[in-house]
Structure 1
Amino acid sequence: MQSDRLDLGNYSKTFITDVPADLNSPEAKEFKKTIRRFPDEAIYIYSFKENRMLYADGWEDLLGYRDDEITMLTIVNITAPEYAPFSNELNDKALMFLHNKTTDLEQYSFTIELKKIHKNGTHVPLISKVGVFKAEQGHVSSIIGHSQRNESIKLGNVMRYAAYGPEKSEFEDELNKQLFRHYAISEKEKEALSLVAEGYSFKEIAARFGVSQSAIEKRIIPMYRRFEVKSLTHLISFAFANHILP
């Protein structure tokens, strides 16, 4: 089912539906017993195989939606407008990357900092993590999402995200390449930029990460054009002003 509000990517259009979880099913009851949920956190498990939610917990406390009514389409649609285009494309490109992998799929995940719209209309700052929950015959069959309220994060105009997994660098590099047109920064880029702000040279940063100096330059220099800055000093100033760096 396609959203009436958002221009989702081709992968998202194919997989996202408006079908909630049957929380009375034996499967959902088992998830309730075995999946740990932290305070101020909501969880979902979504099946690509069945095109529906398999499980949901904590959504009424977090965003005002009952666990038996929250759907994948709802979660997408309640993203705050300023975060929606990037969030949707990140999800789309991450799925594309994972659908081209066949091994160790359950070790991959990504995070994003954003705001969702509560059922009462207020905006809630969240850190959301999406990972592969189950893979079958080399394909992702279901994903698990954790969204946790975090009032301490300072969200500026720049979207922040990170990728994890056996091929973390390849995963993040692919997302960087696909999402370059957005005002966004990856965890890897942020790590390098924070060391630049502390006064380390590109050569010193390269030695710390065990990569070449040119690899560090490729993380930093493209941000000049992305964030429309003209110098390293300007880039660092921009990073502090937009809460990229503390």
Structure 2
Amino acid sequence: MPHQSDPAYGQYSRMFISDVPAGPAGAVPRPELLRFAEEAIYIYSFAESRMVYANGWKEVLGYEDAEVSLIQLVNATTPEFAPFSNDLNDKAIQFLHSKSENLEQYSFSIELKKFHKLGHTVPLLWRVGVYKTMGGKVVEVIGRAQVNHALKFGKVMKYATYGPADKVEFEEELNKILFQHPAVSEREKEALALASQGYSFKEIAALLNISESAVEKRIRPMYKRFDCKSLSHLVKFGIENGII
């Protein structure tokens, strides 16, 4: 039996996540859902409090599609990634339940490892987004897990947000948990990568078409988070830990 990570997940998520699997119907692929090789998909219904669709999990994590539940997938996260992954999911659910417009445009991804049913770990790019809405409320979310052996894991976890014009608001909300974990967002990685090439904050702002203060807002919080005293120290830390 594979080791299971701490099953504790966010207090907010506890109200919505269940251990009810997709069942036999979940093993029947939906023609409209394209699945690539070494990719698994699930759809979880908040309305029914259960997994309503699963496909590809035998190939990715060794589980039959009919037996997969959302809590099972949560608990398969390896211990070093579980706290951040659980908090990120919790904060994302809170944010999405506070919104009523453009919901289908929101999603986020995270690089992590999950335990395979046989016990070994699997490197995954995990992306979760809104799949179905009704009356301005999220009804279903979709998750896609893609095996990616090229991922570089260090002490720092990485995630990215996607969304409409107020995508920045989504990331800023999720970023509130970053000081509790060694993690960076895609926007922070992007800015730090340019800084590592010798660009000034002013030049980075021009390249990214944002304000100089926005660049500072992306880079300076990492000083404290990773206990770095200078930009050169932060760049060195970023290289050593696979951020850039």
- Counterparts of 2:102 and 2:121 in 1: how far apart (Å)? 36
The answer for the alignment partner of 1:22 in structure 2 is: 23
- The Cα offsets for residues 87-131 of structure 1, whole Å up to 9 and x where unpaired, read as 000000011111111001011000000000001110100000000
Q: SS at the partner of 1:147?
A: strand
Contact kept in structure 1, 2:6 and 2:79, CA below 8 Å: no
SS of residue paired to 1:92? helix
| Map of 1:80 onto structure 2 | 78
Where 2:47 maps in the other structure, the secondary structure is coil
Q: 1:32 is matched with which residue: 30, 33, 37?
A: 30
1:6 partnered with 2:18 = no
Deviations 1:165-204 (Å, cap 9, x if unpaired)? 0121111111112332211000000110010011110000
- Contact (CA 8 Å) 1:60, 1:67: kept in 2 or not? yes
Which consecutive unaligned segments of at least 5 residues does structure 2 have?
Answer: none
Normalised to the residue count of structure 2, the TM-score between the two structures is 0.95
- Does residue 1:125 correspond to 2:112, yes or no? no
Q: SS where residue 161 of structure 2 aligns? A: strand
How much has 1:15 moved relative to structure 2? 1.1
- Corresponding position of 1:160: 158
Task: Report the equivalent of 2:143.
Answer: 145
Q: Which residue of 1 aligns with 2:178?
A: 179
**1:42 equivalent in alignment to 2:43:** no
Q: Following TM superposition, by how much is the alpha carbon of 1:152 offset from its aligned partner in structure 2, in angstroms?
A: 0.4
Count of aligned pairs: 240
Partners in 1 of 2:125 and 2:174 — Cα distance?
Answer: 18
- Quote the Cα distance in structure 2 between the aligned partners of 1:19 and 1:125: 25
| Change over 3 Å in CA distance of 1:11–1:153 after alignment to 2 | same
Whether contact under 8 Å (1:63, 1:117) holds in the other structure is yes
- The alpha carbon displacement at 1:4 in A equals 9.7
Structure 2 residue identity aligned to 1:235: L
Compare relative contact order (CA 8 Å, sep 6+) and give the higher one, 1 or 2. 2
Residues 221-240 of structure 1: pairs in structure 2 closer than 5 A: 221-240=220-239
Query: What's the offset of the Cα at 1:19?
Result: 0.7
Deviation at 1:71, TM superposition (A): 0.5
Write the distance in 2 (CA, Å) between the matches of 1:155 and 1:8: 22
C-alpha contact (below 8 Å) 1:155/1:243 kept by paired residues: yes
Alignment gaps of 5+ in structure 1: none
Q: Distance in 1 between matches of 2:219 and 2:178?
A: 15
For the Cα contact (< 8 Å) 1:23–1:55, is it kept in 2?
A: no
Query: Alignment RMSD, CA only?
Result: 1.5
Greater displacement, 168-177 / 192-201 = 168-177
The match for 2:102 among 90, 99, 104 is: 104
The amino acid across from 2:91 in the alignment is K
Distance (Å, rounded) in 1 between the aligned partners of 2:24 and 2:101: 31
Give me the identity figure in percent. Answer: 57
Q: Name the residue aligned to 2:191.
A: 192
Question: Are 1:219 and 2:226 an aligned pair?
Answer: no
Letter in 2 for 1:244: I
